[in-house]
Amino acid sequence: MKFFTAAAIAAILGAEAVLANPITLVPRTPRVSRRGATRQSSPKIAVEASEGHQVAAVADAKNANSTSNVSYSSNWAGAVLVGSGYETVVGTFTVPTPSVPSGGSSSTAYSASAWVGIDGDTCGTAILQTGIDFNVQGSTVSFDAWYEWYPDYAYTFSGFKVSAGDVIKLTAAAKSTSAGSVTIENQTTGKSVTHSFSGESKKLCETNAEWIVEDYNEGDSQVPFANFGTVTFTGASVTKTDGTTIGVTGAEILDIKQDSVLTSCSTSGSSTVICKYV
């Protein structure tokens, strides 16, 4: 027969009391996402490039089997198709590990975003889009999955885990000029999320299809742009309202130019878009 001291009995009774009345645990405060109330993707902002940069970029594009010349934007890099009846845009990429750009500060938060979408180039009234943000501050890296019907702000897919190296498939589908849906599938984890839109007052034109790396806006200014390494969209295609599906052949190639040219983008074959930070 076992004997217990008074202290031991008290400890046991205390443990039972805890079990009978479990403490409600408060979750840790999540990381404060850069995707705040004013986070927003924006239509393409075109900029002029010097002749030297234009020639160099066009040469790089041709070397990578790109089918188009290069234009410059202060916020978009990637490929844009301009046409009509664009209904569903898809693209798959591997999430990169962002880093602080050369000469950057470890105390500054830097970001970049990879997304697919409909409109926002020649049609600036609305954009249906979804993608992944890459964030870095010092040695801390994080990611956000999001959706947006511009000109409304972007919203986070809460609880959807994304890590560097994950293979992500993005889909943006217009059901009409005022309704549609977006889906992000993490093919590495097997998880996916979807959001539907309806009755949107700002209408799509369904004339642009995009595969983009963006220096997006937060408030009234663009975020400090992260070194995203390389983003390669594979399986890049758009299905039209007549049921036909086309690739990126003939797409306009965009590179980001701010104080200098920050990206080098191209297409390869009919279904691949490659963007590199330079």
Strand partners, 137: 140
The question of whether 16 is a catalytic residue gets the answer no
Q: Which pLDDT score is estimated for 69?
A: 81
Name the phi and psi angles at 106, rounded to 5. -70, -15
Closest-CA residue to 118 (of 277, 240, 9): 240
Cα 99 from Cα 101, distance rounded (Å): 6
pLDDT (tens place) for every residue of the chain, 278 residues total: 444 444 444 444 444 343 344 433 333 223 334 455 689 999 999 998 654 444 344 334 333 444 458 999 999 999 999 999 999 999 999 999 999 999 999 999 999 999 999 999 999 999 999 999 999 999 999 999 999 999 999 999 999 999 999 999 999 999 999 999 999 999 999 999 999 999 999 999 999 999 999 999 998 899 999 999 999 999 999 999 999 999 999 999 999 999 999 999 999 999 999 999 99
Q: Which pLDDT score is estimated for 52?
A: 43
Cα 229 from Cα 177, distance rounded (Å): 35
Which of 185, 200, 214, 252 does the annotation list as catalytic? Answer: 214
Q: Which pLDDT score is estimated for 250?
A: 96
Domains of the chain: 46-277 (2.60.120.700)
Cα 228 from Cα 277, distance rounded (Å): 6
Tell me the pTM. Answer: 0.83
Closest-CA residue to 174 (of 203, 217, 137): 203
